[in-house]
Amino acid sequence: MDRRQFLTLSAARQKRTVNNASFGRTDSGVNTYTGAFETPQMVHVLKRALFGATPADLAWAKTLGNMDAVVDALLTMEPTPPAPPVNNYGDDSTGIAPGQPWVMSAPYVKTDGDSLGQNRQRSYRAWWMGVLLNQKRSIQEKMTLFWHNHFPTETTVVLDLRYHYQYNVTLRKHCIGNFKELVKAVTLDPCMLNYLNGDLNSKTAAQENYARELQELFTIGKGPDSHYTEDDVRAASRVLTGYRINAQTVTSYFDSSEHDFENKQFSDFYGKRTVTGQTGAAGAEELDALLDLIFSNAEVAKFIVRKLYRYFVYYSIDDQVEQDVITPLANIFRDNDYELVPLLKAMFKSEHFYDPLNMSCLIKSPADFCVGLCREFSVEFPAASDYMNAYDAWDYIRDTAGKMQQNLGDPPNVAGWPAYYQEPMFHELWITTDTLPKRNQLSDFLITGQGARNNLKADVIAFADQLSDPGNPNTLIQDSLDLLYRVETPDAFKASLKSQFLLSGQTTDYYWTQAWQNYKNNPTDAALKQVVETRLKTMYKFIMDLSEYQLS
Count of structural domains within the chain: 1
Nearest to 203 by CA among 265, 266, 283, 274: 283
What local confidence, expressed as pLDDT, does residue 143 receive? 98
468 belongs to a structural domain? yes
Chain segment 301-340, per-residue pLDDT in tens: 999 999 999 999 999 999 999 999 999 999 999 999 999 9
104 belongs to a structural domain? no
What local confidence, expressed as pLDDT, does residue 9 receive? 40
Chain segment 155-185, per-residue pLDDT in tens: 999 999 999 999 999 999 999 999 999 999 9
Query: Rounded distance, CA 459 to CA 479, Å?
Result: 16
Query: Average per-residue pLDDT in the chain?
Result: 94
pLDDT at 18 over 60: no
540 belongs to a structural domain? yes
What local confidence, expressed as pLDDT, does residue 23 receive? 56
485 belongs to a structural domain? yes
Residue 3: which pLDDT band, with cuts at 50, 70 and 90? very low
453 belongs to a structural domain? yes
Nearest to 143 by CA among 298, 328, 350, 307: 307
pLDDT at 48 over 90: yes
Averaged pLDDT for residues 264-286 = 97
What local confidence, expressed as pLDDT, does residue 112 receive? 55
What local confidence, expressed as pLDDT, does residue 507 receive? 87
31 belongs to a structural domain? no
Nearest to 67 by CA among 89, 41, 92: 41
287 versus 454: the higher-pLDDT residue is 287
pLDDT at 19 over 70: no
What local confidence, expressed as pLDDT, does residue 14 receive? 42
Query: pLDDT > 90: what percent of the chain?
Result: 91
- Note down the domain range covering 480: 366-550
507 belongs to a structural domain? yes
Backbone angles phi, psi at 251, to 5 degrees: -135, 165
Burial 191-225 (b: 16+ CB within 10 A, else e): bbbbbbebbbbbbeebbbbbbbbbbbbbbbbeeee
Residue 6: which pLDDT band, with cuts at 50, 70 and 90? very low
Contact 96, 399 (CB under 8 A): no
533 versus 112: the higher-pLDDT residue is 533
Residue 111: which pLDDT band, with cuts at 50, 70 and 90? low
195 belongs to a structural domain? no
pTM for this entry: 0.94
